[in-house]
Chain A
């Protein structure tokens, strides 16, 4: 028997029992929707998370930290030139971290100045202002776009942003900002017994703001940035042989004659070697951070979330499958006589089975198609209605709640069809075993 004819007979039978077909298909499309939507929620979460992690830095960068315990592990310029020779390293740079207090009128804030090599400094996206010029050797700063949030009133210790959700009228670019470095010799106890910093105020020009509004977080948001060598020279002059905060001292409390960095960023030449590089530094005892690693961990966690969501959805599809089995079984009992006639007239047994399986498969297919169409609609509605709420809950600027990957509709339809075939298999087998004598018996 031709496949086309088997399909034709199946379709004819489904049409004959329109209402029943519609109800069974409804079960399947509800099941399909529940699976597709559940999975799409998982993908939405995954996509939002991945985007967020990507915003923290390049996948090829690994951050190596020195925890200060073992002086032989100090990250120094000598060690950096050693590491530069490693085969997987394409480039690397240290971060020099210097704390400073800033003031303007009644406003004050503590700032971390991070010294970066010129080429890395130029990667910082600049909003207002200009890049610090390196040629004249003058220390100039790029200020993080969210630093304004940390400004407090030095008389009342109130934070306008954190306490009242207001921004201090502190213009980093145009106001005169005084900077004070904390030195052992400058910290005095005043009459009331409080510690005060008597260091001389300096003016370090702030020439640019990091791109982005006050609400837009990036890895450059919460610090000030300067060129590494200029910063080193400047700090040496400021501290003049006194201990520099963050830099270790010798046994007598005197500063060392070299710089120690708390962190270095190692850029790996090949994405596939990131894992090996991470392992290499970790072996040596350093704490290592890498976005890719983080991403992988997050992904494996989200995969479990997705599996659970998909499983919940699949329950509905299982119920639909039982519905299909029921419908086909009914259909076979109703058509006992017809099956018998077909057998007497020489219809191949496998064709009879095929007829019922394709009937079940068609119910699955139709349910799958309708389900996928409605899933897109539901996904759209979810993103429009519930998306903003999710953004707040996940603390993301714009989270997409439901994402349907391009392959999911095809897989969903194929899966629904397969479920149909599976659900139809056992009743179909029953049909093939029915005696042809049922046709001859006169009722």
Chain B
């Protein structure tokens, strides 16, 4: 219990709704979702296509506004923030890993990793140095001068991970990070993510449609038709257990 109290809530989602209007009909992409993510936790959000999992992730990252409900990131409510405030929040706190890697095609690995630092106004020398460190962490030192088309999918995603890590974010969002990769590379990437959470104490929220992939997480949130159906705490991954009921 003592350990439990020490844990900080990083993301607090409370009674979240997202309702789209399609013609006359209202589609409830999210239908009253509440959960908490603690510091240093690896959370997987699992659901089928159209379940609302991606919408949830987008809203946590401030890319889409909710229809109703509250989201707080590190204690700060974000649902009312303006776009430039959200951008600023992402720049300071958040790393993002994409399914299709989304590297800038005209830049080499090093420059891609350094990009978020450029947005922060870091000098070229410093940001390239940091980018090299990050590429070393993801095991891509040899490929730092390669442009995206010269790299495999797995390598590109490592660059993507390095880019998310380079700003030293408190939260990393990963949207189907292995969706475009083969099974061998997938497990490599998942191991890397797991390692980051264990060793660097990052908070990671990953969206996936594959329940097996979710096994690597500490907490798995199952979502269906915009509602949370189950929150699983994986005992093998986390020492201090807590059962949450839905």
Contact indicator A351/B119 (Cβ below 8 Å): yes
Q: Contacts A2-B121, A5-B118, A348-B84: A440 and B63 contacting too (C-beta < 8 A)?
A: yes
Q: Is B100 an interface residue (CB 8 A)?
A: yes
Contact indicator A347/B119 (Cβ below 8 Å): yes
Which residue of chain A is the closest to B57 with respect to CB atoms?
A: A440
Contact indicator A440/B98 (Cβ below 8 Å): yes
Interface residues of B (CB under 8 A from A): 54, 58, 61, 63-64, 83-84, 87-88, 90-92, 94, 96, 98-100, 102, 104, 106, 115-116, 118-121, 123-124, 163, 167, 175, 179
The 8 A-B pairs with the shortest beta carbon distances in the complex, nearest first, are A346-B91, A346-B90, A347-B119, A341-B102, A345-B116, A436-B63, A5-B118, A349-B84
The residues of A that contact B61 with a CB separation of less than 8 Å are 344
Contact indicator B87/A346 (Cβ below 8 Å): yes
**Complexed CA–CA distance, A437 and B179 (Å):** 17
Task: Return B208 CB to nearest CB of chain A, in Å.
Answer: 14
Q: Is A69 an interface residue (CB 8 A)?
A: no
**Complexed CA–CA distance, A98 and B54 (Å):** 106
**Complexed CA–CA distance, A350 and B88 (Å):** 11
Chain A: interface size category = 20 to 34
The residues of B that contact A347 with a CB separation of less than 8 Å are 87, 91, 119
Contact indicator A442/B99 (Cβ below 8 Å): yes
Q: Contact check: which of B83, B104, B115 meets A349 at CB < 8 Å?
A: B83
**Complexed CA–CA distance, A436 and B54 (Å):** 14
Contact indicator B96/A344 (Cβ below 8 Å): yes
A339-384 CB contacts (< 8 Å) to partner B: 341-351
The residues of B that contact A341 with a CB separation of less than 8 Å are 98, 102, 104
The residues of B that contact A343 with a CB separation of less than 8 Å are 87
Contact indicator B64/A344 (Cβ below 8 Å): no
**Complexed CA–CA distance, A1 and B84 (Å):** 14
Contact indicator B119/A348 (Cβ below 8 Å): yes
Contact indicator B88/A346 (Cβ below 8 Å): yes
Q: Is A16 an interface residue (CB 8 A)?
A: yes
Task: Return A249 CB to nearest CB of chain B, in Å.
Answer: 94
Q: Contacts A341-B104, A346-B92: A437 and B64 contacting too (C-beta < 8 A)?
A: yes
Using A346-B120, A349-B87 as known contacts, list a sample of 14 further A-B pairs with CB atoms less than 8 Å apart, ordered by residue number in A. A2-B123, A12-B106, A337-B102, A344-B98, A345-B90, A345-B115, A345-B119, A346-B92, A348-B87, A348-B91, A435-B63, A436-B63, A440-B99, A442-B100
